[in-house]
Amino acid sequence: MYRVHDGHPLQIGGPRQYLADEHLPFEKLQTWHKVYLQQKAYHDHTTPLPSQTLNVCPPNPDWLKGRYDAAFVNIDDMAKWPLSGLEGHAVCELRLIFRPIPPRGQPATWWSDMFLVYTTQFDLRARDPITGMFSLKRSTRSSGIAMGDVFPLTQLRALAPIVPKFGAVADVRLTSRTSSSYSTHFYLNHFFERELFYAIK
């Protein structure tokens, strides 16, 4: 929590060690299942584009593995989306949007109005020579656990349309609603819409 206070974009961090008796100054979280983002046109910074909906839904009868969209996250305050493209930005899967709630009876603190997002990361690989799209791989620690981090919600920039990379043999578990959950390798589909194509051309 304390590393989000200086106002600078957070970079993706490595593993952090905590003491066994580490104390969190809150007991409850308020959560959301979607967020709307709106950006400006690549060639005209005065023109707002239609808003984009990013979903962060836990498992439910319609989405048995949950629905977790990917997004571009700013990790360098010198980089400006969309002009900087991928420079200074990471591709992350959104897993939880939340706000810590101070204990009842305690005064509000600097973090009580801070909206945060927990993400898991993708490693950016080279462009595929056939499709022209960048390849992505889920980031994992040596233990195989997904590498995650917490960012202020204000560091989200845009929807990142990812497409699973299918191997030679089809995975029978894959459907339109489970493909991202069971896949580890993806393409970053910058052909998804014109403004994104300009940013990552």
- Signed CA dihedral, 160, 161, 166, 170: sign only: positive
Beta strands in 102-161 (DSSP E): 116-127, 134-138, 148-152, 156-159
**Total domain count, the chain:** 1
Residue 106 confidence class, pLDDT cut points 50, 70, 90: confident
The answer to the question of residue 45 being in a domain is yes
pLDDT, average across residues 120-138:
96
Give DSSP secondary structure letters for 28-67.
Answer: EEEEESEEEE--B-SS-TTSBPPPEEEEEE---SSSTT-E
> Which residue type does 99 have?
R
The answer to the question of residue 35 being in a domain is yes
The answer to the question of residue 14 being in a domain is no
pLDDT at 5: 52
The answer to the question of residue 107 being in a domain is yes
The answer to the question of residue 147 being in a domain is yes
- With contact defined as beta carbons under 8 Å apart, do 41 and 47 qualify? yes
The answer to the question of residue 150 being in a domain is yes
Q: pLDDT at residue 127 above 90?
A: yes
- With contact defined as beta carbons under 8 Å apart, do 153 and 89 qualify? no
Q: Is 25 left (phi over 0), alpha (psi -120 to 50) or beta?
A: alpha
For residue 110, what are the domain limits?
28-199
Percent of the chain at pLDDT exceeding 70: 90
Per residue in 73-105, pLDDT tens? 999 999 999 999 999 999 999 999 999 988 887
147/126 Cα distance (integer angstroms): 20
On average, the pLDDT of the chain sits at 89
Per residue in 155-195, pLDDT tens? 999 999 999 998 888 788 988 899 899 999 999 999 999 99
The answer to the question of residue 12 being in a domain is no
Q: pLDDT at residue 46 above 60?
A: yes
Residue 117 confidence class, pLDDT cut points 50, 70, 90: very high
94 versus 108: the higher-pLDDT residue is 94
The answer to the question of residue 34 being in a domain is yes
